[in-house]
Chains A and B, each alone.
Chain A
Amino acid sequence: MKLLKLSLLINYFAIAKNSKRAIFLINVGLFLSIFALSAASISIYIENKVSNLEFEHLENSRAKSETEKYTKMVIDYKNKIRQYKNMEGSFEQNLEFLRLNQFGKAVSSPNDLQAYALYDLVKDEKFISEFVLIFDETNFMFDFDFFIKKEKKNYKIISENIKKTFISLEKLNPIELENIIFQRSFRDLGEEIKSSMSNKSRMKYLKDQGQFEKVYNETIYLWEDLETIFSYLLRYMNGSLITVDANLEMINEEIIDFSKKEKNIILIAFLLQLIVFIIIQFFEISSVRIALKRKKKS
């Protein structure tokens, strides 16, 4: 079955009255289709831009959730450092309290205070070398305007100190420390008691005595330095979050702006084409009238 009988259509157009009406309708159709074409082109152009922005938005949102996750992690680590620091601090205080009398002095030794704290840091050698590497490679503070000069300088000093402490820790033998902690023989314990009772060290506190005294004292500062670094890191992350939020807001505004622009451009295109259409119609109708008048006269 034919959908359209072309001959009938052409016959229909051949009637003058019909042709006038048809030409008007076709012109309206042409106008509308040209308008639709321009609207579609504008939409293709704007839609491409909006799609890119939408994915930029998606990437930023992902970055935001990642940063939020790491922020939580940094807060957790910071709290754990504090907890660990407090635990060690209270133990040291308890030992020093015990040492106020001869009994306490006899049952405590520098190794009791220092060995486990050091062993806990050096037992995973990979962790230490990775940590040193981080401070060799990472200088996030310098890429970010969020920090003032003084803080950047402080960060540099602290990271140098941390690196130095980790290098001293790297020199410790974890097996030796492990033996001191876990393989104490009856004789070793007895010797430790004897040595503590006859302790003639002029140093008042346990932390300032024994074979690991220097590196142990360095680790006390290490915890403080790490806490400061984590505080900086937290600020850095919060700063990043603020930046990401600002980016997201900007993208949102841009998307809204593009949608508004799209609407306005289409409206302007419609108005312009309407004007052009009216002008063409005016000329066309006048020319048809003139032609009809001439036909009548002839």
Chain B
Amino acid sequence: MRRGTLNKKSFILIFFVAFSTILSFGFDQMVIRTEDKIRNLNIEYQNINNSLSKYETISETLDSISLGGGLNFTPIILRRNLLIKSYILNETDSYNFLNRKSNEINAQDLGRMMMKEIMELSDMIIEIRSQYQQLYIINEQIFNKIGKDKYHSVTDLFKFDMNPFKKDRDKFYNKNILPYTKLLGFNYHWKDKSYSELKKYREKAIKEFSMREWYDVYKYKMLLFKKIENDMKIMDELSDLFILKSDELLEKLNKKISELKSSNIKKNFYILTSIFFQIVSLLFLLLLFRSFITRAS
């Protein structure tokens, strides 16, 4: 067949075939690009989601440490004055309220109870701080990132001072508060001694402490209360910081969801449009063949 037999109609049809094929190819490329974008968005979404659940878990754990501490702390702080008032009453009372053998035995019993209370409180502080430390160790980076603006150091936020309340000595009758700290039985003070020695020390205190010294023990107890309260406050503040961060992440997550949504819709549109143009291209090709036949016959 000679060259130049293609007429105007054939050229138009060929042009449409080519144009549709190019469009189909273009939309295919758009699908690939959108797919890449969706993959990246999905990775970002997953990362944000993971961080979000991490922050939420930390904040929930901090809340539960603080609330648990509060539930243990409240019954003791409510009855904070009962024992010391009973002791004062026992020492100064002319009514003989307490029905025991002697005022001395009454005083010893009350002293034992007061001592038990400060030991309970120091255990409570240790428990709260060790729970915090566990959480801190496994999430060190996050804690440092979140708390760096508010706290000088998040690491020593809950370091336990083995000789506490040095700055509060003025509040005590006895300015040397070490004998009271030693009652708590920390290893730091009793490392070379046996448990029976600690027991003896405590019994001696019960027998020999005067009213002023028991008042100091009461003061010591109130400072322990304050310390626990402060620990819980810090935990609540930290939890609030984590909640703030979670809210930020939630906002980011919602943005990512919207982006994913539009990208997915676009991808579907591109796929279908590409198919559409493929078919259009085939259609024009068939029309081209048809025109050849009609011309040939």
Contacts and interface: CB of A to CB of B under 8 A. Distances in A.
B289 A22 contact: yes
- Which DSSP category, helix, strand, loop or mixed, fits chain B's interface? helix
A91 B82 contact: no
Nearest to A34: B283
A13 interface: yes
Contacts of A190: 88, 92
Contacts, number: 147
Contacts of B226: 182
Interface string B88-128: 11001001011000000000000000000000000000000
B1 interface: yes
A37 interface: yes
Contacts of A101: 97
Interface in B77-91: 77-82, 84-86, 88-89
A29 B1 contact: no
B67 interface: yes
A19 B297 contact: yes
Interface in A24-70: 26-27, 29-30, 33-34, 36-37, 40-41, 43-44, 47-48, 51-52, 55, 58-59, 62
A138 to B, nearest CB: 18
A121 interface: no
A112 B292 contact: no
Given A44-B276, A55-B261, A116-B77, A102 B89 contact: no
Contacts of B275: 36, 40
A193 interface: yes
Interface stretch (B132-140, B202-210, B265-273): B265-273
A9 B292 contact: yes
Contact of B88 (A47, A58, A102, A189): A189
Contacts of B287: 30
Nearest to B82: A107
B264 interface: yes
A189 B85 contact: yes
A27 B82 CA distance: 103
A189 B79 CA distance: 14
B81 A184 contact: yes
Interface in A81-100: 83-84, 87-88, 91, 94, 98
B257 interface: yes
Interface string A266-281: 0000000000000000
- Which DSSP category, helix, strand, loop or mixed, fits chain A's interface? helix
Most chain A C-beta atoms within 10 Å of own C-beta, residue among B98, B225, B265: B265
B199 to A, nearest CB: 29
A48 B85 CA distance: 77
A186 interface: yes
B242 interface: no
Nearest to A91: B78
Contacts of B67: 80
A103 interface: yes
Contacts of A14: 296-297
Contacts of B92: 190
Contact of A87 (B78, B98, B225): B78
A107 B283 contact: no
A37 B78 contact: no
Interface string A166-190: 0000000000000001111010011
A101 B6 CA distance: 121
Nearest to A8: B1
A10 interface: yes
B290 A30 contact: yes
A184 B89 contact: no
Nearest to B99: A103
A10 B1 contact: yes
A198 interface: no
Contact of B80 (A58, A62, A181): A181
Nearest to B293: A13
B143 interface: no
Nearest to B216: A186
A59 B256 CA distance: 12
6 contacts: A7-B5, A14-B296, A19-B296, A33-B282, A44-B272, A106-B97
Interface of A: 6-7, 9-11, 13-14, 16, 19, 22-23, 26-27, 29-30, 33-34, 36-37, 40-41, 43-44, 47-48, 51-52, 55, 58-59, 62, 80, 83-84, 87-88, 91, 94, 98, 101-103, 106-109, 112, 116, 120, 181-184, 186, 189-190, 192-193
Q: What 4 A-B pairs have minimum CB-CB distances, sorted nearest first?
A: A7-B1, A103-B97, A14-B296, A107-B85
Given A9-B292, A19-B296, A19-B297, 8 more contacts: A13-B293, A13-B297, A30-B286, A55-B264, A106-B89, A107-B82, A108-B82, A190-B92
